[in-house]
Chain A
Amino acid sequence: MIIVDILICLVLLAAGVGAMLQRNLVASSVLVGVVSLMVSILFLRIGAPDVAMTEAAIGAGLSTVIFLIAVRRTEEEEQ
Chain B
Amino acid sequence: MKQIFSLALLAITGWLLWSLVPYGQATEPGPVSSHYIAHGLQENGGSNLVTSIVVNYRGFDTLGEVTVLFLSVAGAGFVLRRRSGQRRVAPRPSSEFVQTGARMLFAPMVLFGVYIFVHGHLTPGGGFQGGAVIASAVLMLLLADRDHHLPHGFMGWLESLAGFGYVLTGFLGLAIGGSFLANKGVLPLGQWNRLFSAGVIPIIYTLVGLKVGTELSTLLDVMVDSGRDHGEADAHGQKGGAA
Contact = CB atoms under 8 A, between A and B. Distances in A.
19 contacts: A9-B18, A47-B24, A50-B48, A50-B50, A50-B51, A50-B124, A53-B124, A53-B125, A53-B129, A57-B129, A58-B129, A58-B132, A61-B132, A62-B135, A69-B223, A69-B224, A72-B227, A73-B226, A76-B227
A46 B24 contact: yes
Given A69-B223, A73-B227, A62 B136 contact: yes
A50 B228 contact: no
5 closest Cβ contacts across the A-B interface?
A49-B124, A57-B132, A50-B124, A76-B230, A79-B230
Chain B interface category by residue count: 20 to 34
B7 interface: yes
A76 B50 CA distance: 44
A54 B132 CA distance: 9
Interface of A: 9, 13, 16-17, 20-21, 46-47, 49-50, 52-54, 57-58, 61-62, 65-66, 69-70, 72-73, 76-77, 79
B232 to A, nearest CB: 8
Nearest to B232: A79
Contacts of A13: 10, 14
Contacts of B166: none
B27 to A, nearest CB: 15
B205 to A, nearest CB: 12
B230 A54 contact: no
B163 interface: no
Interface centre among B24, B132, B135, B226 (most CB of A within 10 A): B132
Contact of A65 (B51, B124, B139, B231): B139
A20 B6 contact: yes
A72 B128 CA distance: 26
Given A20-B6, A79-B231, A70 B124 contact: no
Nearest to B50: A50
B182 interface: no
Given A46-B23, A57-B133, A65-B139, A77 B6 contact: no
B3 interface: yes
Nearest to B11: A13
Nearest to B51: A50
A65 B139 CA distance: 9
A66 B124 contact: no
Contacts of B23: 46
B216 interface: yes
Contacts of B170: none
A73 B126 contact: no
A17 B24 contact: no
Contacts of B10: 13, 16-17
Contact of B3 (A21, A57, A76): A21
Interface in B135-174: 135-136, 139
